[in-house]
């Protein structure tokens, strides 16, 4: 019974370590996405469109909020 508990503990520890490695890898991918030129261009283009269509106050507010949410998800503010 003790052997089973130790085996379960070892398996659990391996699973936790695997998930931690996956999280680190995904964080690195997200960071690289934020540094990626297409992402920067997309955000810049969207900001430029907001300036051109500044008369649409509600649309501008929605887009600015979404840009802010996206930038925060990339770790920028």
- Structure confidence by residue, pLDDT tens digits, 41-77: 777 887 887 777 777 788 878 888 888 888 788 775 4
- Say what the pTM is: 0.43
What is the C-alpha separation between 17 and 13, in angstroms, rounded?
6
CB contact at 8 A, 59 and 53: yes
What one-character-per-residue DSSP string does 18-29 give? Answer: HHHHHHHHHHHH
């Amino acid at each position: 019974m003790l052997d089973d508990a130790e085996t379960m503990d070892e398996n659990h520890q391996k699973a936790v370590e695997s998930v931690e490695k996956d999280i680190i890898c995904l964080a690195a991918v997200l960071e690289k996405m934020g540094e990626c030129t297409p992402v920067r261009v997309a955000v810049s283009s969207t900001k430029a469109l907001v300036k051109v269509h500044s008369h649409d106050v509600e649309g501008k507010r929605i887009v600015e909020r979404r840009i802010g949410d996206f930038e925060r998800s990339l770790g920028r503010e």
